[in-house]
Amino acid sequence: MAKATILVLVAGMLLTGCLNTLLLKYQGLSCNQVQRHGAFTGCASFPIWQSFFMFMGEALCLAVIGIVRIWLWARRDRGYVPIGVSPVPEDEEHDTDLADSVLLASMQQDSPNPPLEGLATLYLALPAFFDICGTTIMSVGLLLTTASTFQMLRGALVLFVGFFSVIFLKRRLLLHQWTALALVTAGVFLVGLSSLTGKHEKSSKPQHTLLGVLLITGAQVFSASQFVLEDYILSRYAVEPLKVAGFEGVFGVILTTTAMVIAYVFYGSSAGQDGTFDIGSGIITILEQRHIWLSFVLFAISIPSFNFFGLSVTKSVSATSRSTIDACRTLFIWAASLALGWESFKALQLLGFAVLVYATLLFNGVVEPPRFLLQKQDGAVGRGGLVVEVDASRRHISE
């Protein structure tokens, strides 16, 4: 694939990936600001609405697939033969059309397994359920802590995915990968500890910050369950990962809407007024505040864009390169939060982030493990094993 294409894909992934987290934090801060001015708000229900809009965005992935297929059909109808997504020699890169490469990179799916269609698509409702739980809990945690802490603590996902893959998928981890998981634990501890030390926001109390850290870390159990289920499904059916995200979005919208309505009718509209399940107050606040509903719309657009760019990057570069790119995304989110004055710099957080990045790169084989951690296999030093790509846009675990 042309270098220009890869640069576009990586830039798009970084931009939309940063927007996803920053917009969520902006919504929480905006709601708190409205509340401080004495306006009636439904801030407590924002995490639920954020999950709803996230699934709406994921459902739009199906629209992306439809648009791409119509576009390809129209080009073929004019006698055009689309370019494949196989690597292109450097001396032939100028022959690769950028638009074709970007579109096709996330669409091609070769597999001997039967296609995931008909009633079989209902299997995706289960990972969508875990996605609802994990996303909503993390959104609550984000309200109580900073955007950079939120993004860094999500690094704990590799820890739970690794354990669940060994237990349920019967995968194996090598010694250096177990060491990496131990380092992930240490990194998460340092990041969490840093959020409890130093200066806090006026609206933030240490106990609230601690609760946010625990919620975000604990939510990774649900996210890991989602990843393992998706890997199980993808290993048995042939389906475009973008289509998986789209159908999960549809099921997520259905499940979230059903739960929201039931909770509001039986609790939120009476005893739970102004609480988490008072979705009526939440939507009123969103619609009355122009900057808030615009951020929700932008968030819903950014989600499918991130999935599209992320999947395209995965097919364009090595899987291990995604770990490096994702580390940059976390760094950019942190830098943006500092620039916007949402948080202050903490050396302990930097140390924890460095440990998390090294552990993730070590786990995925991007960096060379120390010699004493390498295992001998058939007379040679082995570095193979499980590779876990812990990102919402790459829902797969590979060996």
Tell me the whole-structure pTM to 2 decimals.
Answer: 0.82
Q: Which residues does residue 377 pair with via DSSP β-bridges, in sequence order?
A: 380
- Please list the helix, strand and coil fractions of the chain in percent, rounded to the nearest 5, in that order: 70, 5, 25
Q: Are 328 and 353 in contact (CB under 8 A)?
A: no
Pairing of strands 387-388, 380-382: unpaired
Q: Are 352 and 189 in contact (CB under 8 A)?
A: yes
Would you tell me how many other CB atoms lie within 10 Å of the CB of residue 216? 29
Q: Nearest to residue 5, comparing CAs of 63, 151, 13? A: 13
Extended strands (E) in the chain: 375-377, 380-382, 387-388, 397-398
Q: b/e string for 125-144 if b means 16 or more Cβ within 10 A? A: ebbbbbbbbbbbbbbbbbbb
- Cα 123 to Cα 116, 127, 209, 219: the distances in Å are 9, 8, 36, 22
- Euclidean distance between CA atoms 187 and 155, whole angstroms: 9
- Cα 333 to Cα 21, 139, 394: the distances in Å are 8, 16, 20
pLDDT given at position 57: 94
> Domain ranges in the chain?
1-77+114-364
H/E element holding 54?
helix 46-77
- Euclidean distance between CA atoms 344 and 187, whole angstroms: 19
- Each residue's pLDDT, cut to its tens digit, for the chain (399 residues) gives 567 778 888 899 899 999 999 999 999 888 777 665 555 566 778 899 999 999 999 999 898 888 878 887 887 766 555 554 445 444 444 444 455 555 555 555 566 889 888 899 999 999 999 999 999 999 999 989 999 999 999 989 889 988 998 898 888 888 988 999 999 999 999 999 998 886 655 556 788 899 999 999 999 999 999 988 988 888 888 888 788 889 999 999 999 999 999 988 888 777 667 677 888 888 888 888 889 999 999 999 999 888 888 777 766 665 556 667 877 899 999 999 999 999 999 999 999 999 999 998 888 777 888 888 776 544 333 444 444 544 444 444 444
281, amino acid identity = S
Beta-carbon contacts of residue 216 (< 8 Å; ≥ 6 apart) = 137, 138, 141, 142, 145, 149, 150, 153, 154
pLDDT given at position 384: 46
Would you tell me how many other CB atoms lie within 10 Å of the CB of residue 347? 9
Q: Nearest to residue 333, comparing CAs of 13, 14, 42, 10? A: 14
What are the start-end ranges of the H helices in 340-382? 347-363
- Find the largest Cα–Cα distance for the chain: 71
The sign of the dihedral angle between the CA atoms of 186, 391, 21, 27 is negative
- Euclidean distance between CA atoms 279 and 195, whole angstroms: 30
What angle separates helix 3-36 from helix 98-105, to the nearest 10 degrees? Answer: 60
Secondary structure class of 84 (helix, strand, coil): coil
- Euclidean distance between CA atoms 188 and 155, whole angstroms: 7
Q: Are 86 and 322 in contact (CB under 8 A)?
A: no
pLDDT given at position 8: 85
